[in-house]
Amino acid sequence: MVNKIYISNKTIVALVAIALVIMAVGTMVSISRLSSMGNQYTLLTGAVTDTGSTSLTVQGGVSVSVPDSAIVFPTGYYNASSTTNFSVLYATGTGGATADWINTSGQLAVFNDFHTIVNNGTTIINITADTNQTDARSFLCGTGNCLITSGVNASVLVVSTDSEVGSCASGTAMGAVLLSPTAETVTTLCNYLNYDDGSDSLTVYYGLHVPKDVDQGVKSMTITYTAEAR
């Protein structure tokens, strides 16, 4: 004899409800445990996320050129009709400041020669000038060849201007004394020389005050231009 067990509809509904509760509790526990493991498993699809970084360091390149590196003052001598006791020579091309110097053809010396400094790097630079001489008197007069009264007038001056508009933002030299009778000064030609094409070049003129009793011969001086990134 087979005994039949009858389960009512109410009992079936109760069992299904219990099963759903158990499934819900299990899902919540699983999510809680995954969350406690940090951001590595925030997606339930199994995807993994992480972060990265990218950096770039840009350095400026310092480079200058002096296309025409030689300045040659005209050969000549002190104008005897002058009363200044020294000749003034400026390579400006105007001739207005050279009346105390007579060139070898017997004419007032008129000439225009200069250095052009080009910033062909990739950064704004500071340009300075110094020489291989210790002072103007030893450069022009040698050892004791100029009288003290005229030797005090020995000097080398420098002027710097824009070759192109907007090249030097600040700090040009306007008649700065590079060599005094007794000392040398490292001279700033431009504090802020740009590097953009069309506005990156500087014109540098030099002036000489030559005592009237300077000894004969060639006077040579080396000028060093130093560029530093700003």
Q: Is the dihedral of CA 33, 39, 40, 42 positive or negative?
A: positive
Q: Is the pLDDT of residue 219 over 80?
A: yes
User: Domain residue spans in the chain?
Assistant: 1-52, 64-229
The rounded distance, in Å, linking the Cα atoms of 93 and 210 is 18
- pTM greater than 0.85 (yes/no): no
Distance between CA atoms of residues 168 and 127, nearest Å:
10
Kindly tell me the burial class for residue 48, based on how many C-beta atoms sit within 10 Å of its own C-beta (0-12, 13-18, 19 or more): exposed
Report CA torsion sign: 177, 95, 114, 168: positive
CA distances in angstroms from 92 to 87, 110, 204, 208, 212, listed in the order given: 15, 8, 10, 12, 21
Extract the tokens encoding 51.
């972060």
Q: What is the mean pLDDT of residues 160-174?
A: 92
pLDDT score of 97 more than 60: no
For residue 107, pLDDT beyond 50:
yes
